[in-house]
């Protein structure tokens, strides 16, 4: 019997590469496409001798309906897109092209080739400054272009589910972390920033007073949730995904160990993100397995992987976030 085939867009990236690991372990043949803007070949190089694995450097915006990559594919896991939040203020067109139009290209190719199920990687940023714990039916209020682009990509995916009967589920990720977390040239995810600072013997740059908390979920738990969303008989559903147990930035620094320096609090960012995960636990029988302490320890064991990451200090952070403060703190009610 031939093995089922899965396609992972952005499969050389952070969550995508862990999903590739899981799918191969589950007995799938896995095809990966990635333009390597945010992903790295080193994340998947351990699979290159595996006959069940293939990789193609390709931009999702260039996909055509007749793409052979989608031929005979059962499941598509769509992670590809621009993930850095702060630069979206300055580059909104890029985000809309990739995260919205690129998603439409994926949807059309999947529809044309008769894919069995597509799982879309959505973002909890669509909720804005949300009440917590946050349910899937919470008011939508994207406050910056990244959040808007991911939400419009999600709405496109659900539209293809409704109009064209392409089975789709969407998973709104809160705060994923873990080994291989993104380290692009843009100011971004707290773990990449802090681990490079630790390697360089620099203080951690804490935004505000560090009491703000995030619903951190380890990446292998994220990949398992996406897999369950794919194999489920449900479609047209939205699932919030977090640990349901927010952790403060101060707690993260305590686990990492080291000195700190404080930088201004950024407007438009929530004091707390906290996913209500009742739906995904009930309907997909998913449970988070990796504790925050264990996850941070696993990252510390591989800290040398952040050796080439950009070093962020108060001065260049201020320059990188200048547009953010300009547009997000101009007296508007956000």
Do 314 and 209 belong together in one domain?
yes
pLDDT computed for residue 330 by the predictor: 57
- pLDDT tens for 102-113 read 999 999 999 999
Do 203 and 84 belong together in one domain?
no
Do 32 and 118 belong together in one domain?
yes
- pLDDT tens for 136-193 read 999 999 999 999 999 999 999 999 999 999 999 999 999 999 999 977 767 778 999 9
Do 255 and 145 belong together in one domain?
no
Do 209 and 222 belong together in one domain?
no
What average pLDDT does range 310-319 have in this prediction? 94
pLDDT computed for residue 1 by the predictor: 79
The domain spanning residue 256 has which CATH number? 3.90.25.10
Do 122 and 266 belong together in one domain?
no
Count of domains forming the chain: 2
pLDDT computed for residue 334 by the predictor: 40
Residue 306: domain span: 190-214+245-274+290-327
Do 157 and 200 belong together in one domain?
no
Do 9 and 106 belong together in one domain?
yes
Confidence at 333, pLDDT banded by 50, 70, 90:
very low
Give the C-alpha separation, 223 to 215, whole Å: 16
pLDDT > 90 fraction of the chain, expressed in percent and rounded:
90
What average pLDDT does range 283-293 have in this prediction? 98
pLDDT computed for residue 316 by the predictor: 93
Q: Is the pLDDT of residue 91 over 80?
A: yes
Contacts 24+ apart (CB under 8 A), 86-94: 86/186, 86/187, 86/188, 86/320, 86/321, 86/324, 87/186, 87/187, 87/320, 88/144, 88/145, 88/146, 88/149, 89/144, 89/145, 89/323, 89/324, 89/327, 89/328, 90/323, 91/145, 92/145, 92/149
**DSSP H/E element including 76:** strand 75-78
Q: Is the pLDDT of residue 230 over 60?
A: yes
Q: Is the pLDDT of residue 130 over 90?
A: yes
Residue 280 lies in a domain: no
Q: Is the pLDDT of residue 64 over 70?
A: yes
Residue 285 lies in a domain: no
Residue 282 lies in a domain: no
Residue 160 lies in a domain: yes
Active site residues: 146
Do 210 and 221 belong together in one domain?
no
Residue 333 lies in a domain: no
Quote the pTM value.
Answer: 0.96
Do 91 and 108 belong together in one domain?
yes
Residue 182 lies in a domain: no
Residue 118 lies in a domain: yes
Residue 250 lies in a domain: yes
C-beta separation of 241 from 280 below 8 A: yes
Do 136 and 203 belong together in one domain?
no
Mean residue pLDDT across the chain: 95
98 DSSP β-pair partners? none
């Amino acid at each position: 019997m031939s093995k089922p085939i899965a396609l992972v867009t952005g499969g050389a990236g952070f969550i995508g590469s862990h999903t590739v690991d899981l799918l191969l372990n589950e007995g799938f043949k896995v095809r990966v496409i990635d333009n390597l803007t945010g992903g790295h070949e080193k994340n998947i190089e351990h699979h290159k001798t595996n006959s069940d694995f293939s990789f193609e450097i390709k931009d999702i915006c260039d996909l055509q309906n007749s793409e052979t990559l989608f031929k005979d594919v059962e499941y598509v896991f769509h992670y590809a897109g621009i993930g850095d939040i702060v630069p979206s203020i300055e580059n909104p067109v890029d985000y809309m092209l990739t995260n919205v139009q690129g998603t439409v290209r994926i949807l059309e190719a999947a529809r044309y080739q008769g894919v069995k199920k597509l799982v879309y990687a959505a973002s909890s940023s669509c909720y804005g400054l949300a009440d917590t714990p946050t349910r899937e039916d919470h008011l939508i209020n994207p406050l910056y272009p990244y959040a808007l682009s991911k939400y419009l990509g999600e709405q496109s995916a659900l539209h293809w589910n409704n109009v064209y009967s392409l089975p789709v589920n969407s998973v709104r990720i809160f705060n994923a972390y873990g080994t291989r977390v993104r380290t692009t040239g843009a100011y971004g995810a707290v773990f990449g920033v802090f681990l490079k600072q630790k390697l360089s013997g620099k203080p951690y740059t804490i935004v505000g007073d560090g009491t703000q908390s995030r619903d951190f979920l380890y990446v292998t738990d994220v990949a398992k949730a996406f897999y369950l969303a794919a194999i489920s008989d449900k479609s047209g559903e939205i699932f919030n995904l977090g640990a349901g147990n927010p952790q403060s930035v101060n707690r993260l620094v305590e686990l990492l160990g080291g000195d700190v320096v404080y930088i201004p609090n950024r407007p438009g960012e929530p004091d707390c993100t906290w996913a209500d995960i009742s739906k995904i636990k009930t309907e997909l029988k998913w449970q988070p397995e990796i504790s925050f302490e264990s996850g941070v320890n696993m990252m510390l064991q591989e800290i040398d992987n952040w050796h080439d990451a950009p070093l962020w200090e108060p001065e260049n952070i201020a320059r990188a976030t200048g547009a953010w403060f300009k547009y997000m703190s101009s007296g508007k009610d956000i």
